[in-house]
Structure 1
Amino acid sequence: MANNEVIVDGEVVHCVGCGAAVQTTDKNALGYTPESALKKGLENGEVYCQRCFRLRHYNEIAPVSLSDDDFLKLLTSISDTDSLIVYVVDIFDVNGSLIPGLHRFVGNNPVLLVGNKLDILPKALKHNKVKDWLRQQANAAGIWPIGVELISAKTNFDIDHLLDQIEKYRQGKDVYVVGVTNVGKSTLINSIVRQSTGIKELITTSRFPGTTLDRIDIPLNDGHNLVDTPGIIQPEQMAHHLSGKELNLVTPQKTIKPKGYQLNPGQTLFFAGVARFDYNSGDKRHGFTVYAENNLFIHRTKLENADEFYATHVGSFLAPPTEDQKADFPALEPHEFKSTEKSDLVIEGLGWVTIPEGVSVTGWAPKGVSVLMRPAMI
């Protein structure tokens, strides 16, 4: 225990937003809280560190100084428990939010897989198809869940049902909520807390990675706990390549409205400056449907000019990334596919393009971001 941690009645005081131990001496370290704010927080029974206060009131994020090793140590300790693991993934970024080695962290504990952000998927998409897709992707990553649930933490869709399933599977055990950053883990727990206690936004939430800095224990009625853990940072997520404002321009915010394009072979669609879709070969005037953020800037051009066009216009006409960001933005890498049936070309964290049978296409995404093909979901 660090010497500068605040102790009250023999207990270390923790920020109720992120879980970091509160201290009043080092402004640049985790858990810093001014003396005046600490006094007021103790009086109110809710102490927030300065980082969480600024995040909640001004949407201002401070850099996270915990190392990956610190995050993994916290998760590895779960393997020694007898508990239920609620594993939250982003339905729109499944591969980016899967942890292939999850069982190394959770041991033999059962895993309930929860797909979040259902509210942004098109209405025509059948929930059973989504569940099957999630289970297949989890199995491919070596994860064998005892159940798959779909929710929207943002709109509270099916939270009551999820709580029933958690109660069914936990069998009097503690519950650990795990996942990578930016999948809506803390939003989900806020929703659970709000429904059970009436407290709004007890846990700090943000669109930025790395909000929860330590485990947060929420008591259950039988003496066990619901535990929010820090998110594992997954560098392959699209969210790690853009700042908050630009991320909002490419990450779906509301229910997606499909956009149709009639393309000839040799045409390209640019998705702002963050991704690209090439129609290489196939019949003339094929229909392609794009499922992405409704306000995402999409530009059609000729494939033969696409490389030069991108090099000239990325950061300006093709933005985001902005002019200031483009130097650090990863190069777009190609992933070529040929469809044998109606399929979806998925660019993780951005969306997908539904393509017809018998065409050759290429999806381009920032280095490390997954691009894959699946049978069409709609």
Structure 2
Amino acid sequence: MSIETINHCAGCGVLLQTEDKNKLGFIPAEALQKEPVICQRCYRIKHYNESSSITLQQDDFLKLLGHVGQTKALVVKIVDIFDFEGSMISSLSRFIGTNPVLLVVNKIDLLPKVTNANKIINWVQRRAKEANLKVVDIVLCSAKKNIGFDRVITAVQEHRGDLDVYVVGATNVGKSTLINRLISDYSDLEAELTTSQYPGTTLDLVKIPLDDGRFIVDTPGIVYAHRLTEVVKKRDLARIMPDKPLKPVVFQLNEEQTLFFGALARFDFIKGEHQSFTCYTSNAIQIHRTKLERADDLYADHKGVMLAPPNEADLDELPPLVKHGLNIPKGKQMDVLISGLGWIKVNSLAGSQLAVHAPKGIKVITRESLI
């Protein structure tokens, strides 16, 4: 087998080459004899869980997504329920044309078990409408835990007809994991996409032939800098990205009290009645409470040590914290989302004045409460 007969990596889809190990698609010549044929980058991610500094640029991602609107296909859009707004592709309709959209909401296993699935679907419908995304169906699932996947398969069958299936999503939403499940159900081909916790794993269009002559097409994940997962050091990804059901942590706060989420973010309850706030973040994140008047000094004295992650050595590489003033109106059940970190539910209907300090560029929004 030679580089002339095997053109693309079976893991990330990139064009293979044997000349320059510092460029995309490098594969040692002797590795061309192995099955599946994957580039060195995918091999190291798969076997050693290593990251790579080689990634696709944003403009290249958008050019590749342009392929979706140039064909008739079912578009399977995957979002992460833990970071719904952060993982939405806001301009998706511009790329997909009139193609039908199946919205798959992944990582549903992270929500507390008492969560009502119908309420979540209704909530997602409202969020999709706000994003001007017209969907033919919404499916809740966990590709990792094999929850609701039969419904995903059924929905794809219902809406695909004889079309190809394009799968799109931001980085770290579980896209490749879900496609690997689709492959096992739809194709006899032994293929496995590269999956890892690192952004930008898929680098080009990966076409997996189906038994009926059509294809499942994996597209590169959009890298959004407004998500904390794209900003922290890779060693901190495992701490901020939950892999177990969230354990809500409730704080009863008086006005002028502050919560620190490691050194990654700060939540100030500036003004309002005594009320409770429920934090939905990774169980590995330590939350510290203090008085608002002491918050600046606490951060200055303990960031990177007691307030971690990140650790002290990595603080200089984290963008400076920027203050976002927020007002929760009376009579509203609202969440405060810090993209990639989680959200804080404001439990009182009395209204409150808040502030969130998050790394510069990270999306901070209020929304209708998810739970």
**Shorter-normalised TM range:** over 0.9
* Secondary structure of the corresponding residue to residue 23 of structure 2: coil
Residues 33-92 of structure 1: CA distance to partner in whole angstroms, max 9, x if unpaired? 1122222x1xx3x11111111111111111234322221111112111011100111111
| 1:133-144 correspondence runs (5 A) | 133-144=123-134
Contact 2:338 2:362 (C-alpha < 8 Å) held by counterparts: yes
Task: Return closer, same or farther for 1:364/1:218 CA change in 2, 3 Å cut-off.
Answer: same
Match of 2:263?
Answer: 273
Task: Return closer, same or farther for 1:90/1:160 CA change in 2, 3 Å cut-off.
Answer: same
| 1:214-293 correspondence runs (5 A) | 214-284=204-274, 286-293=275-282
Match of 1:61?
Answer: 51
Match of 2:29?
Answer: 35
| 1:323-362 correspondence runs (5 A) | 323-333=312-322, 334-340=324-330, 341-355=332-346, 356-358=348-350, 359-362=352-355
- CA–CA distance in 2 between the matches of 1:125 and 1:337? 27
**Which ranges in structure 1 are unaligned for 5 or more consecutive residues?**
none
- CA–CA distance in 1 between the matches of 2:113 and 2:325? 28
| 1:47-86 correspondence runs (5 A) | 47-86=37-76
Could you tell me how far 1:199 is from its partner in structure 2?
7.7
Could you tell me how far 1:178 is from its partner in structure 2?
0.5
Amino acid paired to 1:305:
R
* Secondary structure of the corresponding residue to residue 305 of structure 2: coil
Could you tell me how far 1:267 is from its partner in structure 2?
0.9
Contact 1:216 1:228 (C-alpha < 8 Å) held by counterparts: yes
Would you say how many aligned residue pairs link Structure 1 and Structure 2?
366
**Which ranges in structure 2 are unaligned for 5 or more consecutive residues?**
none
Match of 1:88?
Answer: 78
Could you tell me how far 1:197 is from its partner in structure 2?
5.4
- CA–CA distance in 2 between the matches of 1:214 and 1:291? 34
- CA–CA distance in 1 between the matches of 2:182 and 2:303? 42
Amino acid paired to 1:52:
C
Pairing partner for 1:366 from 330, 339, 359: 359
- TM-score, L = length of structure 1: 0.91
- TM-score, L = length of structure 2: 0.93
Could you tell me how far 1:158 is from its partner in structure 2?
1.2
- CA–CA distance in 2 between the matches of 1:316 and 1:199? 49
Residues 206-215 or 58-67, more deviating: 58-67
Amino acid paired to 1:376:
S
Could you tell me how far 1:248 is from its partner in structure 2?
1.5
Task: Give aligned-pair identity as a percent.
Answer: 45
Amino acid paired to 1:311:
A
Residues 198-244 of structure 1: CA distance to partner in whole angstroms, max 9, x if unpaired? 88871100111100011111122221111111111111111111123
* Secondary structure of the corresponding residue to residue 105 of structure 2: strand
Amino acid paired to 2:265:
A
* C-alpha RMSD of the superposition: 1.9
Contact 2:109 2:244 (C-alpha < 8 Å) held by counterparts: yes
